[in-house]
Structure 1
Amino acid sequence: MGATGDGNARSGPVGEGPWYCVQCLQGRLQEALHGTQRWSDEERERGLRAEQVEGDGEAAWGLPGSGVKRVTNRATLWYVPLSADNVNSVVNVPPLQYSSPEQEEEGRKRYEAQKLNRSESKQRNGTIIFPTINVDRKSKEPCTVGYSQSSLIHLVGPSDCTLHNFLQGGVTMKLMDEVAGIVAARHCKTNIVTASVDAINFHQKIEKGSVINVSGRMIFTSNKSMEIEVVVDVDHVLKSPQESAHSVTAFFTYVSLGKDGTALPIPTLKFETEDEKKRFEEGRVRYLQAKARRTAEATKKCQ
């Protein structure tokens, strides 16, 4: 799983649509989802500054000179070590020395959870999202899947790749987040920000020179959040045609924010097919599960 964003700190007055920075806003999203948090006058006047902090995949923001930081992003990333001589060969991981049995058990639980998630994600690989090109949105009803569905096409160049000429995961995540943001903006017609990403799964390596289709569609909407499915398909233009399969898959959750930083209601998603209705109900299950996890984590911290 990866955290989105370009990792750069940007500052500017809050409330000017384009100046909203994903990392600056992340710390307020959960509060904004419940409508309990507003931007203070001090924050509007002085702006926000995002700062990267060292740690286990965390980033924090804080007001300049305030000495106070809040965690904005937290993620667990899983990597697979490959042989330096043969990139198709997976090598063993050296054992890790744990500080306690509890730490090892918590890590094992996360491992099993991501393993199950990858298995379920592979099962969904038969689902196809056809790239949208030159869509006549005037002929489509707003707030439907077809109205907001979006795609982009990207040629994988040298600057996108690792030393072994495979597309970097961070580049892929950035493109996926951009597409998800376009889908969310078209659905809401407001300022939107990323709230969370549910397990970005990389199913196969993407080689330099490939053309990737990044496609996103609205899956589920609650009162104050929306889930968008994004998939990456690969076209090996220099090779013979192969059976299409999703190379990368993920679910992005977005929220819509007003100029004062509070969450705005999300327009209800309208169904046009039974498949869309089925995917909506599946999204509702994921939404309720995520909500239950947040409640359990908050309860654990209070103990």
Structure 2
Amino acid sequence: MTDQVPPPESDIPGKPTSASRTTLSHIMTVSDTNLLGTVHGGVIMKLVDDAAGAVAGRHSGGPAVTASMDEMVFLVPVRVGDLVHVRAQVNWTGRSSMEVGVRVMAERWNESTPATQVGSAYLVFAAVDAEGRPRAVPPVIPESERDKRRYQEAQIRRTHRLARRRAIKELRARRAAEGIDDHR
């Protein structure tokens, strides 16, 4: 892997990472809790998907759908009364797909202490047209050294996703050729 970000391979003009970066904030209430009394992970995941979807739509200039969520990590519990900030940006783009990185921060609604990171995730979105078919997206243009690192890390995650998918397909094909029926 090189230290340079490759030039865009698209006729569509690129967009800088800052063009679609966004933060979604939400205060957690009792209706967001799980049986342990902390905020349900699914509530956080929905906020993550909402913020990432907004970023993907902004970057691609139209509808984009969630294709996958990688590495959703919960670092510490979120509590009722926490003000949660979900920060998202496009890290990498392909022809019609985008990786969006998300960082989840939380702070007490009534205290002046700094927000702390409580989670993170990487999501892949596919830009779609009115009929639901893939459509081209603008290349992302990393602006800072941090953006360049995120771009390179996103390429590594993509390589791993594709290799994992290929290995699973090969395993299933081998098992089917051996007459093993896994569909019961």
The two structures have a TM-score, normalised by structure 1, of 0.51
* Deviation per residue, 1:20-40 (Å, 9 max, x gap): xxxxxxxxxxxxxxxxxxxxx
Instruction: Please state which structure has a larger fraction of its residues in strand.
Output: 2
> 2 CA distance for matches of 1:159 and 1:195?
28
Letter of the structure 2 residue corresponding to residue 166 of structure 1: T
Which position in structure 1 is the counterpart of 2:116? Answer: 245
Give the alignment of 1:1-303 within 5 angstroms.
143-239=15-111, 241=113, 244-303=115-174
| 1:246, distance to aligned residue in structure 2 (A) | 1.2
Higher-Rg member (1/2): 1
* Deviation per residue, 1:244-273 (Å, 9 max, x gap): 431011001000112333211221001222
Which position in structure 1 is the counterpart of 2:181? Answer: none
Q: Indicate the percent of aligned positions where both proteins have the same amino acid.
A: 29
Q: Show structure 2 runs of 5+ residues with no match.
A: 1-12, 175-184
* Deviation per residue, 1:177-212 (Å, 9 max, x gap): 000000000000121100000021110011111111
Moved >6 Å (runs of 4+): none
Secondary structure class of the residue paired with 2:31:
helix
> 2 CA distance for matches of 1:277 and 1:230?
16
| RMSD of aligned alpha carbons | 1.7
- Matched positions, count: 162
* Deviation per residue, 1:22-65 (Å, 9 max, x gap): xxxxxxxxxxxxxxxxxxxxxxxxxxxxxxxxxxxxxxxxxxxx
| 1:239, distance to aligned residue in structure 2 (A) | 4.6
